[in-house]
Amino acid sequence: MGKGGDGVGETTLHIQIRDMLKRPVFRKAEYLASQRALERYVRWVHIMEVPEIEGLLSGGELVLTTGIGWPGGKSHGLSFLQQLIACGAAGLCIELGEHTRSQLEAMKQLAEAEDFPLIWFHEQVRYIDITQDLHFALIRSHQRMVAELDQLTTSFHQLLLNGDGVQPLLRLLSRNTGYAVALYPLEGEATAIPHVPREQLEKQRQLWWDQRESMDHTTLDGYTANPSTVEVSDPFSGRLTMNPISIPVQALEYTFADLILFPQKHTDPEPPTPALPYPSDEYVFHALERCAAAIAQDWMRTQYMEEKRRYKEDMWVIDWLNGHHSAKEIHEYLAAVHPALCTGQAAVVLFDSNPTQHDSLRLQKILIQRNIVARSVFAREGFTLYSTVLNLQIILIVIDPQAASLRKSNLWSCIQQIRQHEQEQTHQLFSGLYGIGQNYSEYPRLRESLESAKETLRIQKDIGVMEQPFYSNLHCYRIIASMKQNGNLNDFITEYLGPLIRYDAEKGGQLLLTLKHYLALCCSKQETASALFIVRQTLYHRLDKIESLLGIDYLLPEKRVAMELALYAYEYVHGSLV
């Protein structure tokens, strides 16, 4: 317990209870506050005389009351105090009168048990003076915090201009907050301040990503604080710790890293920048946010320059697709990037031309930005990506290093991720029709992969969008498309299905549909009748009619295969039979 008004002082950032009590307006006050209670921050001051306060406070308020609104009885002071504690108030200041003085001792016991600041006056006090004084101090404190954050942002930008990477940014953040800092990128090396051995840091990063997936996160102004029930591995000590503060580092609406502050204070060779070692949570959150923005700028600058460099090599890729490079030239080019690229599988992914993008230069500029995200997505699955624009169509060359066969499911998953990423973008490059060509280990055959991707696009325009548009999934449609291109398709359909087509058109029958189900269900009469929702006798009548029109040999294996192909061809031209 202590006496207020022993001196004047305030923190640089917000007002702690200990500094508030030194202000002249609390000169005649007494208080009960533990060391932990004195470290609480006051965010606002509120006069409250109602006995029920549920939903009226947001947390961090110093509540001033005379207790005049409390009903008679000794328990209402305790109830009021319990509600304040539950709402996260910063403290309670009470003017003692006849109906409050008797409740003070019980309230002291509760406040002491909960580490909650309890302040009281023995005589009448002008709460308006306290309110004005603290509000003025809070506003001035907020202005100081904004000024310090602006200065911190300027320092971040100056460090960016030095071109020394993110390490100086993390060091400045650690000095300004007093916290240990770790940066865990999705790809590339993790970084920490103070220094942590590489192997230990990589191990802790993997643990972080594993733990992050299962955390029940609570959001605080865009930041993630793990609940106290979750323990996270601290890379600096190797021990489990509570409540690290993390923020995703994002660019182009893509998260490429997590920036984390760990709650333990770690010694740094340089002294902390703030005047006091314990800045407010709000300052820490904003400093973390501004550091993340600076890291994102550095990442974007690096990636954008790398993409521009790649586009200078664009003609080499186009010549590769056109078959102008020998196997030796391709091998030497890829080996210079990474030897593993020479022994894998490659395929072309072709995105149909976007009618809103007729300007090739504009298309390439947007593609540079999209490729920054796309390369990260594909790299996480172990793929290497090359891209170009040809005839306003986007071409991705995907190489799966050292793969015996292309990992189709992983490739398809990557494409879905980049399509999902741009759903909210103004210009969509990857969200239209696309085709995935045949994969080859002989890289000079990449031109054939491009042609098969084009074929996959053409076929989808006839049969509709495929869920997974791989050329290898087209099956019989590849034969049908070739017959259509040669002009033989209609004759083929008429030769095998002509009598049924004419009968259905003249009689309004369903012989084509019946034959489709009958063949698809391996000539099972019971299953076919169920699929068509008809009785067995009706099916027998239809099958007899089909036999009379097509001939008794229509179920011979060689003729049956041709008829099934003709049925697919009919649907290819006229749409699905229903």
Among 79, 49, 78, smallest CA distance to 63 is for: 49
For the domain bounded by 163-215+231-267+277-300, which CATH number is listed?
A: 3.30.450.40
| DSSP string for residues in 212-243 | HHH---EEETTEEE--TT-EEE-TTTSSEEE-
CATH of 323-472, one of 3.30.572.10, 2.40.10.170, 3.30.70.270, 2.40.50.140: 3.30.70.270
Regarding the domain delimited by 15-138, which CATH topology (the fold level of the hierarchy) does it fall under? 3.40.1390
Q: Mind listing the pLDDT tens digit of every residue in the chain (578 residues)? A: 555 544 333 334 467 888 888 888 888 888 888 888 888 888 888 788 777 777 787 777 888 888 776 766 567 778 888 888 888 888 888 888 777 777 788 888 888 888 888 888 888 878 888 888 888 877 777 777 788 888 888 888 888 777 777 888 888 888 888 888 888 887 777 888 887 787 777 777 777 776 766 554 443 334 444 433 345 566 665 555 556 788 888 876 677 788 888 765 544 444 444 434 457 777 888 888 888 888 888 887 777 676 666 666 677 888 888 888 898 998 988 888 888 888 889 999 999 876 555 555 666 667 777 777 888 889 888 999 888 887 778 889 999 997 778 899 999 999 998 888 887 676 778 888 899 999 999 999 999 999 999 999 999 988 889 989 999 999 998 899 889 888 889 999 999 999 999 999 999 889 999 999 999 999 999 999 999 999 999 999 999 999 999 999 999 999 999 999 999 999 888 888 87
User: How far, CA to CA in Å, does 306 sit from each of 168, 278, 382, 475?
Assistant: 22, 41, 19, 40
Return d(Cα 368, Cα 376) in angstroms, integer: 13
Q: What is the pLDDT of residues 510-564, one digit of tens each?
A: 999 999 999 999 999 999 999 999 999 999 999 999 999 999 999 999 999 999 9
Enter the tokens of residue 266. 């770690």
Domain limits of the chain?
15-138, 163-215+231-267+277-300, 323-472, 482-574
Residue type, 373: V
Enter the tokens of residue 72. 């008679």
Helix axes 525-532 and 511-520, enclosed angle (nearest 10): 130
H or E element that contains 336: helix 327-337
H or E element that contains 45: strand 44-47
**Predicted TM-score of the model (pTM):** 0.51
pLDDT score of 1:
55
Beta strands in 134-253 (DSSP E): 179-185, 191-193, 218-220, 223-225, 231-233, 240-242, 245-251
Q: What is the pLDDT of residues 284-308, one digit of tens each?
A: 888 888 888 888 888 877 776 766 6
Q: DSSP label at 272? A: P
Q: What is the pLDDT of residues 436-482, one digit of tens each?
A: 999 999 999 999 999 999 999 999 988 889 989 999 999 998 899 88
Return d(Cα 232, Cα 262) in angstroms, integer: 10
Residue 446's CB is within 10 A of a number of other CB atoms, namely 26
Burial category of 447 from C-beta neighbours within 10 Å (exposed 0-12, middle 13-18, buried 19 and up): middle
Q: DSSP label at 190? A: -
